[in-house]
Structure 1
């Protein structure tokens, strides 16, 4: 089954990530993208903390496409297992 959009969970400034989820049918998949990866995708100045949700929304299609790719490749991290995206995931 293909992953679909889930929910925006929030920005964790101390960890430098934005947490979100995706859905595999009825199963919620925990995901995170680093704020440095989002800044890399926009190729502009670093976004301020209060801008992270809007930045995620602008980049959501690209972020979710890469998360789906890592999901299909079973590239999970952490406990419980989830998808973590970093700048390197968007290069090349």
Structure 2
């Protein structure tokens, strides 16, 4: 159960999330991270919607590491089941 990087899917302004995927072998795992969690990770002002993909890219290693932890713990949500990351997931 080792996850590898997938793809950036989209920034959903209405839901305030960034959707991305990761892979477990050939299986694609849907994932999302809240934009507020990304802003908290950067400890700066909220970025503009058109800057979310670049922000995700800067934070990708940290986001994917936490997604992998939740995957190993089988903390899935939604339909289809996926990984959802919020600010609380990045707190020590």
- Pairing 1:1-92 to 2, within 5 Å after superposition: 1-92=1-92
TM-aligned CA deviation for residue 66 of structure 1: 0.1
**Unpaired segments ≥5 residues, structure 2:** none
Q: Across the two proteins, how many residue pairs are aligned to each other? A: 92
Moved over 6 A (4+): none
**Unpaired segments ≥5 residues, structure 1:** none
CA RMSD of aligned residues (A): 0.4
What is the TM-score when the length of structure 2 is the normalising length? Answer: 0.99
What is the TM-score when the length of structure 1 is the normalising length? Answer: 0.99
